[in-house]
A and B are shown apart, each in its own frame.
Chain A
Amino acid sequence: MRMPLFTLISIVVAIAVFMVTRLPNIEYLFVAGYTIVQYIVLATAWNILGGYCGYVNFGSAAFFALGAYSTVTLATFGLQVDELVPESLAPYFHLIFPLPIPVLIVIGGIVSGIVGFGTGYLTLRLRGAFFAIATLALSVVLATLVVNWDFVGGSGGAYVVRPGKFPGLGSYMQYLFLLMLGLAVLSVVLARWIERSRLGYGFAAIRDDEMAAEASGVPTLRLKLIATTLSGALMGMAGAPFPYYIGYLAPASAFGLEYAVNSIAMPLIGGTTSWIGPVIGTILLGTLQQVTTVTISSAVNVLLVGVLLIAFVIIAPNGIVGLVQDRLRARRKG
């Protein structure tokens, strides 16, 4: 299937999902749906660097939180324009602020992309294991910086007021859900495009054998930096609307370990070699988690994710996609 057709189908599917979610008129569906679609973006973004290139990122939370905190910073700035900006310029700022969410998404993406590039530049020359550890370190360092910066609320957190309604759509939550669906389409289309492009072959060569890739002429450092930047940017874009979704942003929730675990578990369980793996993994794991959190407890939910991750990584290294492919191959031979 060629890319333009795929893109069209993805958009149609997204719109269909949105329409279907509106039917029962239950607000909770949008709340739960937003989380799942958000993880589709995070899982797909993680997979570009992790599954395609083979470089594990433990710091998804950091890139996600950077997007969220860019929004908080700009929102807080917008509220305090009169105190922070000289009187003559204030009217211009009042025109721009509060910034619409799509703009915030772009800014979140840029900020996270730059940090992704920077982290990569400092650490990608080392082995993959060191990069992974560095991403974990980054998460903690950023969290500490945020906790100590009062402008964004410090350890106490910050409130972001969510408007009640969005013209034409109903509740603001529906608008957020629609935006996140748009991001999901963007990430999935991007992932599939990469898979089939020259870039994708380069990524796969790096994942399979970096030294051989380099000897074959693949500019490994440059490609890894591209992957890190893209991945970080997408995660930042996913994080930008989060403060509006949750209303109250505390470092503990923005930098929560569940982002790191989920964005690794979902692609690994779904399958890392294709764009569809993260999607399958997210839908399965995400739905399971929503059910467990509501029926049992959130601690058991986290335990479940960890156990599933370990089990799949040992038993089915190529995830659900891999299992299906093996079945098909066996059937063809048999």
Chain B
Amino acid sequence: MTALLQVQNLRKRFGGFVALDGINLDVQAGERLGLIGPNGSGKSTLVNCICGTLQNEQGTVHFDGQLMNGLAAHQRTHRGLSRSFQLPRPFPSMTLAENLRIPMLYTVHHRSGTPLHADNIDARCHELLQLVDLEKKARHLPGDLTQVEMRKLELARAMAAEPKLLIADEAMAGLSHAEIEDILALLMRLNQSGITVIMIEHIMTAVMSFSQRLAVLVSGRKIADGKPEDVVRDPEVVRAYLGE
């Protein structure tokens, strides 16, 4: 069975700096993959290349059997690839409900062929906001939200595109224990409904409890890829990232 996401020999440089040096990564449909690594190791660059925000120079990205190289980010989103941004990027002039409308109007609508009815969209927006516990603030602007609420909105918007694969980029950074549990529960629920999830995180407890498989990125190279319990005991991983 071919993997849902296949990254082969991905290379990306910025001028003279090699950000990604031949990354190979497969993600199976329905899987929960954790991606860890020190700051500057290339995790966000990898996400950007997979999702099309950046174009890689060498290597290929296949999603759902199709070649993604050359496709713009919005085209990849249409095909089911979605991501949340590490620093939340809400649409500041729109209400929360309207923020979720955008992916529905432009991704889901595009996919289904028949235009979505306005009431249908409104209903779906409120459903999603309920899922992330933001329904009461549906008519507020993002400026009124707390940090964790912004993170949830960010995830909700990624979910509004009804993806097959969701990449959550450091969605839990800086949050309290209870808030981390919240987000974790949300991602678990998503996965249970059939969505493949790649979690990029520094918070090891969350990563360990969430991931079925763990990959480690250091200085643009993947140095480990396997069962979480094995990976965290890998001496190279310990040396490069986890410490003594």
Contacts and interface: CB of A to CB of B under 8 A. Distances in A.
A219 B89 contact: no
A218 B53 contact: no
B110 A217 contact: yes
A273 B106 CA distance: 21
Nearest to B157: A216
Interface string A81-117: 0000000000000000000000000000000000000
Interface string A193-233: 00000100110110111011111111111000000000000
A157 B146 CA distance: 61
Interface in B83-119: 83, 85, 89-94, 98, 101-103, 105-107, 109-110
A208 B91 contact: yes
Interface in B139-168: 157, 160-161
B184 interface: no
Interface residues of B, number: 29
A274 to B, nearest CB: 12
Nearest to B92: A208
**Interface of chain A: mostly helix, strand, loop or mixed:** helix
Given A198-B105, A202-B105, A205-B102, A214 B73 contact: yes
Residue of A213, A215, A218 ringed by the most chain B CB atoms within 10 A = A215
Given A201-B98, A201-B101, A220 B89 contact: no
B123 interface: no
Given A216-B77, A217-B103, A207 B72 contact: no
Contact of A209 (B77, B89, B107): B89
A216 B93 contact: no
B74 interface: yes
Residue of B82, B91, B107 ringed by the most chain A CB atoms within 10 A = B91
A216 B53 contact: no
B199 interface: no
A171 to B, nearest CB: 46
Contacts of A205: 91, 94, 102
Contacts of A217: 74, 77-78, 102-103, 106-107, 110, 161
A14 to B, nearest CB: 30
B214 to A, nearest CB: 25
Residue of B82, B106, B160 ringed by the most chain A CB atoms within 10 A = B106
A201 B53 contact: no
A209 B78 CA distance: 18
B72 A214 contact: yes
Nearest to A218: B106
Contact of A216 (B72, B75, B92, B106): B106
Contacts of B53: 211, 214-215
Contacts of A209: 89-92
A217 B102 CA distance: 8
8 contacts: A204-B91, A205-B91, A208-B92, A212-B157, A214-B53, A215-B85, A216-B107, A217-B74
Closest 5 CB pairs of A and B: A217-B107, A208-B91, A217-B106, A212-B89, A216-B103
